Structure 1
Amino acid sequence: MAAPKNRRSVFLGRLPLPERNFLADALRTETVGGVLLLVAAVAALIWANTPLRAGYETVRDFHLGPGSLGLNLSVQHWAADGLLAVFFFVAGIELKRELVAGELRDPKAAALPVVAAICGMAAPALVYFAVATGGGGSTAGWAVPTATDIAFALAVLAVIGTALPSALRAFLLTLAVVDDLFAILIIAIFFTSDLNFAALGFAVLGLAVFWLLLRKGVRGWYVYVPLAVVNWALMYNSGVHATIAGVAMGLMLRCHRHEGERHSPGEHIEHIVRPLSAGLAVPLFALFSAGVMVSGGALSDVFTKPETLGVVLGLVVGKAVGVFGGTWVAARFTRAELNPDLKWPDVLAVASLAGIGFTVSLLIGELAFGTDPVLADEIKAAVLVGSLIAAVVASVLLKLRDNKYKKLCADEDRDDDHDGIPDIYEQDNPAYHLRMAAILEAKAAEHRRLAEVASGHPTRDDGPA
């Protein structure tokens, strides 16, 4: 009998098993990368606030690279424009995979995280505008509190030991992927100036060659890596932020599997590059971007200057209100229903986690206030403070429901028939019920045997005498 057409879908319900397994593998890497990111940020703050600060500035501002190609950049600049291109390359692959095989492949299912992400970016921008204009400050930093750092958010989860159900983790990851897409568009549209159309034309041509080689099935890292570097350099010299080249190439990879393939090319390359992004590129960016002077006066300035206060409130209040409000509106006016095992405070906790804006927020802060180094450092301090407050608030909310989460995760992972597939995914499989019946019968027989031995009166069932 066909399901009714008006049947409501379950929001934050159980994921399909392949998607759940892929998500688990991806989050392990993201969580480890987030811990490394946290360590790098702390190391940068210690390095920049001790007598070793002069050494930190010397290393950060050291220039290297071929000047004739317009690439004589500081170490900090290489980290922001060069290493982060690897991060955005992985983000491009993640987005492509979500579009063809993940939560975004179905427009109806995609509506909820997309609406939540849009509201989660609009609300912080509005909060920043309100605070900055009300205090007579610069509105140039409106985009700083709009970004979510998924690696840092997952690092917080790892540190506090909360066992989030896979559906909530998937929502957070999908939300961050959509968030990254809009952050990329913001960078491309609002932080691009003085275009060099010749370099941009050659960059587009290089990307077209990259796409054509992929479609022709050409293989070999020795072909794609040099081409990717050339495309990155052309994009940088064009005036468009160089990380856009990484995103574009990530989106070009095929992320659906052909018959007989265990992994698509996109999944395979992501598996190789993700550790480089999470374990090297992003932590090094944090090391050379998060090193700001932190003192009592500087911290008080974060809450008194309109620009920095706008960033803090945008991350802590704007993100939580925007993501939660967008999710509620989408669920209220679409056919999505909240998983009955979860409550709206759970969604609020995840929305608060989205207020941890680190990597992309720091990058946008540098782009927005690059001509004012003092204010740029103050904005970085505001990003750190806002992210810390959001992490604490989210941790408290998550801990209040920790026991419920653990029960949900235990139900998801239970495998009583020991076949490697969680029982919850086999409930409609007749073979599963036969195996479980056999297991239960064997356990019952064992209990009867032990009872007979204990009583000393074994019973026999040999039929009529």
Structure 2
Amino acid sequence: MGAHTESPNQNRKAFGRLSLPERTYVTDALRTETVGGVLLLLAAVAALIWANTPLSDSYETVSKFHIGPAALGLDLSIQHWAADGLLAVFFFVAGIELKRELVAGDLRDPKAAILPVVAALCGMAVPALVYVLTNVVGNGSTDGWAVPTATDIAFALAVLAVLGTSLPSALRAFLLTLAVVDDLFAILIIAVFFTSELNFAALGGAFAGLVLFWLLLRKEVRGWYVYVPLALVIWGLMYNSGVHATIAGVAMGLMLRCSRRDGEEHSPGEHIEHLVRPLSAGLAVPLFALFSAGVGVSGGALADVFTQPETLGVVLGLVVGKAVGIFGGTWLAARFTRASLSDDLSWPDVFAISTLAGIGFTVSLLIGELAFAGDAAMTDEVKAAVLTGSLIAAVLAAFLLKLRNAKYRKLWEEEERDEDHSGIPDIYEQDSPEYHLRMAEIYEKKAAEHRRSAELTTGGSERDDSRA
């Protein structure tokens, strides 16, 4: 969510055009997330078909099949491995993204960071409040208050890909930054509220492993054969400690260096993220969806989603709470920081993005499993509510974004135009110092030619006068 460089007397522009390096990073990151999001959609559809056909018994059998070394406390079901194991990879990438945002992205600048941070906080607090109020009024359980607080960036981008909506890079960057901050607070919620009994010996071992991981990075020790086995040991110890194992992933991601040194094209964190993100988006998250989204969706089950306070709270939290919270937080942050919207965008655009953020698939499903771990029936009902709420949010966002799609496409084409085939969009070349220097040279050259032409004309006139 970058902006133009402005003088101190000017109001800061919210959702202004990104710098070229930031735009390149966002484009590359979102391209992978979009492909992963499409795979996520396909995995979710496959899970729903598998769980709602005569093959449903086999879905249950595979999901509950246990594998792993029992002596190490890791005799887990396939579904459990997907939630605790594969999602650790997802949160590892989230940790790297957060670290990069803190040292090289929008979160580095407090003035630029305040808007997405406030928007993300309000986008988590309001859905939680909506859920709690719904359940207080309906005499339901407030245990699932955290379920509608999460945004699924991959699912949201998959919706954009299916729609063919060409969002300007500033809006896409805002969505990405929002999701990064959202993931951070989701991790904190999981660590604080869903940790029951602690095994301090295992927790101490995990902490010692993380210290060793950090020291090896500081010493610039290289080699995947060093870090991958160590990461697996840290993950296993974290799982046995009682703290959710995905916390190990984000902790290791945050330790990577994401600032570039002289002569480096990419920092180690960016390089590792580039390698691991396809594994996360293309394998880990879709497999988690495959073994978590398989719930019964009969007419009666869907009707129950809107009649039970727990499930209705989830739907309203995702559809209403997210949109109101993010839009309201963005408006308040802009109002109190005196930031004005980019000239190319308007507040309905922000509301459409806020509605899109109501797609809370991956982390919402995970929190739903944790919140109602002792109640299998309620867990499935909450999962159905997450799917329903995410679908409603996607349809509403699709409608709102389509209303402005012509405008978005025009802005996107302007950002992408590269008439001189230099590999750099023309709009960025015009803003670069090299461009201004080149323009100054051309101006000086034309001015010199004009002076020579004038001198020749004047000299010729004088010669004619002398002859006369």
Give your verdict on TM over 0.5: yes
Change (3 A) 1:3 1:56: closer
| Preserved CA contact (<8 Å) 1:124 1:314 | yes
Instruction: Show the counterpart of 2:354.
Output: 351
Instruction: Show the counterpart of 1:304.
Output: 307
Cα offset for 1:88? 0.2
Instruction: Give the secondary structure class of the aligned counterpart of 1:104.
Output: helix
Show the 5 A alignment for 1:18-167: 18-167=21-170
Cα offset for 1:191? 0.2
CA distance in 2, matches of 1:156, 1:432: 42
Instruction: Give the secondary structure class of the aligned counterpart of 1:259.
Output: coil
Letter in 1 for 2:29: A
Question: Which of 2, 14, 28 lines up with 1:11 in the alignment?
Answer: 14
Show the 5 A alignment for 1:327-366: 327-366=330-369
Letter in 2 for 1:47: W
CA distance in 2, matches of 1:146, 1:166: 25
Instruction: Show the counterpart of 1:378.
Output: 381
CA distance in 2, matches of 1:207, 1:167: 36
TM-score by length of 2: 0.92
Instruction: Give the secondary structure class of the aligned counterpart of 2:92.
Output: helix
CA distance in 2, matches of 1:44, 1:107: 42
Please provide the CA RMSD for this pair: 1.6
Change (3 A) 1:66 1:405: same
Show the 5 A alignment for 1:229-308: 229-308=232-311
Instruction: Give the secondary structure class of the aligned counterpart of 1:331.
Output: helix
CA distance in 2, matches of 1:56, 1:427: 57
Letter in 1 for 2:118: V
CA distance in 2, matches of 1:330, 1:137: 34
Cα offset for 1:102? 0.7
Instruction: Give the secondary structure class of the aligned counterpart of 2:108.
Output: coil
Letter in 1 for 2:160: L
Cα offset for 1:431? 4.5
CA distance in 2, matches of 1:305, 1:82: 32
| Preserved CA contact (<8 Å) 2:6 2:12 | no
| Preserved CA contact (<8 Å) 1:426 1:432 | no
TM-score by length of 1: 0.92
Cα offset for 1:143? 0.1
Letter in 2 for 1:88: F
1:211 is the counterpart of 2:214: yes
CA distance in 1, matches of 2:289, 2:224: 28
CA distance in 2, matches of 1:104, 1:135: 40
Letter in 2 for 1:37: L
CA deviation digits over 1:391-431, x for unaligned, max 9?
A: 00000000000000011011111222222211211224225
| Preserved CA contact (<8 Å) 1:7 1:335 | no
Instruction: Give the secondary structure class of the aligned counterpart of 2:421.
Output: coil
Cα offset for 1:285? 0.2
Instruction: Show the counterpart of 1:454.
Output: none
Question: Which of 159, 169, 193 lines up with 2:172 in the alignment?
Answer: 169
Unpaired stretches in structure 1, ≥5 consecutive residues: 438-462
Change (3 A) 1:100 1:159: same
CA distance in 1, matches of 2:177, 2:188: 17
CA distance in 1, matches of 2:378, 2:6: 58
CA deviation digits over 1:51-103, x for unaligned, max 9?
A: 00011111000000000110000000000000000000000000000011111
CA distance in 1, matches of 2:439, 2:348: 36
Change (3 A) 1:233 1:435: farther
| Preserved CA contact (<8 Å) 2:151 2:357 | yes
CA distance in 2, matches of 1:433, 1:421: 17
1:416 is the counterpart of 2:419: yes
Change (3 A) 1:228 1:436: farther
Cα offset for 1:5? 2.6
Instruction: Show the counterpart of 1:222.
Output: 225
CA distance in 2, matches of 1:145, 1:304: 17
Instruction: Give the secondary structure class of the aligned counterpart of 1:241.
Output: coil
Change (3 A) 1:4 1:35: closer
Unpaired stretches in structure 2, ≥5 consecutive residues: 444-459, 462-468
CA distance in 1, matches of 2:94, 2:216: 21
CA distance in 2, matches of 1:96, 1:431: 35
CA distance in 2, matches of 1:236, 1:225: 16
| Preserved CA contact (<8 Å) 1:417 1:435 | no
